[in-house]
Amino acid sequence: MRFEEIYENYFKDVFRLCLSLTKNEETAEDLAQETFVKALTAIDTFDGSKDIRAWLFTISKNTFLSECRKRKWIADVEVPEDTPSTDQDFLEVISDKESAVLIHKYLHEMKEPYKEVFHLRVFGELDFEQIGDIFGKSASWARVTFYRAKNDIKKYMSENGEI
C-alpha cells in the first residue's frame, strides 16, 4: 500500500484519537499531521506483522505524550502507581551541562541493554517500537528497559545531589 493510501484511509481515525486525547480540534489536527510525518519517516520499520492502524495509533499516542511533556501538560492517561513523582523534570536535569557530564559518566558504566536503549531513546530520538525492532523485542520491552535505565540514572543523580 502506498503511503498516500495509508494517509487517506487512516487520517480520520488518527484525528479522532488525537481529538479524544486533546479535546481541541486544532491541536488534534496538528498531532495527527505530526503522526503521519513520523510514520512517513519510519515506514520502512513497519514490517506488516501488525495492523497499520494500531501502529499509527501508537505513534499518535507517543506524539501526544511527547507534546504533553514538552508543554508540561498533564495527560489524561493512567500512570502506574509505582511511578515515583519528581519535583524537577528529568529532561531539565539532563540538559544542564554539569549534570549531563555526570550522566554520561554513569552511562559509561551502565550495563547493556539499558545503556543502549537509553542512548537510542534520548539521543537517537527513536520511539519504543523502533528500539524494540533493533533488539528484536517488543515496544513494551523497550519502554520497560528505558524506564529502568532512567530510574537508575535518577537514583544515581539523587545520590550525587543533582536531583
**Shared-domain flag, residues 67 and 15:** yes
Cα–chain center distance at 51? 20
Nearest partner of 69 among 41, 94, 102, judged by Cα: 94
Segments in the chain forming alpha helices (H): 3-22, 25-42, 52-71, 90-95, 97-109, 114-118, 128-135, 139-159
Q: How many residues does the chain have?
A: 163
CATH number for position 152: 1.10.10.10
Please, are residues 46 and 55 in contact by the beta-carbon 8 Å criterion? yes
Distance CA 42, CA 53 (A): 14
Q: Is residue 82 situated within a structural domain? A: no
113 cis-preceded (ω within 30 degrees of 0): yes
**Shared-domain flag, residues 25 and 62:** yes
Q: Is residue 83 situated within a structural domain? A: no
pLDDT recorded at residue 57: 84
In the DSSP assignment, the letter for residue 80 is: -
Q: Is residue 79 situated within a structural domain? A: no
Q: Is residue 26 situated within a structural domain? A: yes
Q: Is residue 45 situated within a structural domain? A: yes
- Kindly report whether the global pTM for this prediction surpasses the value 0.85: no
Please, are residues 93 and 99 in contact by the beta-carbon 8 Å criterion? yes
User: Which CB contacts under 8 angstroms, 24+ apart, belong to 154-157?
Assistant: 154/84, 154/86, 154/90, 156/102, 156/106, 157/93, 157/99, 157/102, 157/103
As for how many domains the chain has, the answer is 2
pLDDT recorded at residue 22: 81
CATH number for position 55: 1.10.1740.10
pLDDT recorded at residue 29: 92
Tens-binned pLDDT, residue by residue, of the chain (163 aa): 687 888 899 999 899 888 888 888 898 899 999 999 998 888 888 877 777 888 888 888 888 888 877 776 654 444 444 444 433 444 444 445 566 677 778 887 888 888 888 878 876 677 888 888 888 889 899 999 999 988 888 888 788 765 5
Domain residue limits at 97 = 90-159
